[in-house]
Amino acid sequence: MQAWRLFPLGVLLVVAGLGVTVITGCETNPYTGRSQLLMISVSEEMQLGAQAYSQVKNDPKLRQSQDPREIEPVKRIAARIIEAAKRSKYAEMAQQFQWEVIVIKNDKTANAFALPGGKMAVYTGIFPMAKTEAGLAAVMGHEVVHALARHGAERMSQGQLTNAGLQVIGAAAGAAGGGGMLGQAAMAALGVGAQVGVLLPFSRKHESEADYIGILLAADAGYDPRESVALWERMGQMSGSGAPSEFMSTHPSHETRITQLKKWMPEAMAIYQSKPPAHAALLPPVQ
């Protein structure tokens, strides 16, 4: 049984049997200059990501799509986003990742995620909101940035999880090679919120950062970044008045996102116009 305790000044003391490990660290986001407190190593984070991905793939309630019409566009977009990531300011991290992508057949769930280590999943329910491959590239670029920018590790390090959640993470990290199971709190911190049925609950700061860098990656991959604005306009139309207020939500409001994306668009368009355009066909219809 491992016990985790969060100390002041960004020091995490891990007591595991007779061993005591102190982990601390601070990094700067290469795109935004934002300081990040990170107390989990990249290798530990990737182990957690791999374990969470295995848990998702082995979940008997989830079904992977076998339809080439759904799989091929997702894989095509993923390949281009990955290559853009390897050219980005996250190139070193992207080279370390063992990239993989699956399509989960669930037409009622508008969701996608990318875990530490490059493990990605797209739910078919996001297709109507994304509409085109360029729209889905905005979604996938956004999710990939969460992994590359280590937002999950940052959430853990900031103490946003309960003490019980931290114990689960500690146990999972120690058992990553031996079949430990991740709890819901740890899965949420890593960005796996499939049961929620919406894009994942990172903080507003992380979401805005992923929106910004995500459209730069999508543009570098050859996808029109203006589709990100159209995506969030559709999101707003589909959610209607049922969306929570920005103050009560971990996500920026749709209006805030659209305003920010338009502000960043000149930078993204300059990148896009310097690249050969990617194929951007309509995505297949869903039930």
Enumerate the active-site residues.
143
Q: How far apart are CA 260 and CA 47, in angstroms?
A: 34
Give the burial class of 13: count Cβ atoms within 10 A of its Cβ; 0-12 exposed, 13-18 middle, 19 or more buried. Answer: middle
Tokens 């079949």 label which residue? 179
Beta strands in the chain (DSSP E): 2-7, 11-16, 19-23, 26-28, 35-37, 100-104, 112-115, 119-123
The vertex-183 CA angle with 55 and 189, nearest 5°, equals 95
What is the β-pairing status of strands 100-104 and 119-123? parallel
Letter for the amino acid at 32? Answer: T
Q: How far apart are CA 232 and CA 261, in angstroms?
A: 10
Give the burial class of 68: count Cβ atoms within 10 A of its Cβ; 0-12 exposed, 13-18 middle, 19 or more buried. Answer: exposed
Letter for the amino acid at 171? Answer: A
Q: How far apart are CA 134 and CA 226, in angstroms?
A: 9
Backbone angles phi, psi at 284, to 5 degrees: -65, 150
Q: How far apart are CA 59 and CA 224, in angstroms?
A: 35
| Contact residues for 211 (Cβ-Cβ < 8 A; gap 6+) | 142, 228, 252, 257, 260, 261, 264
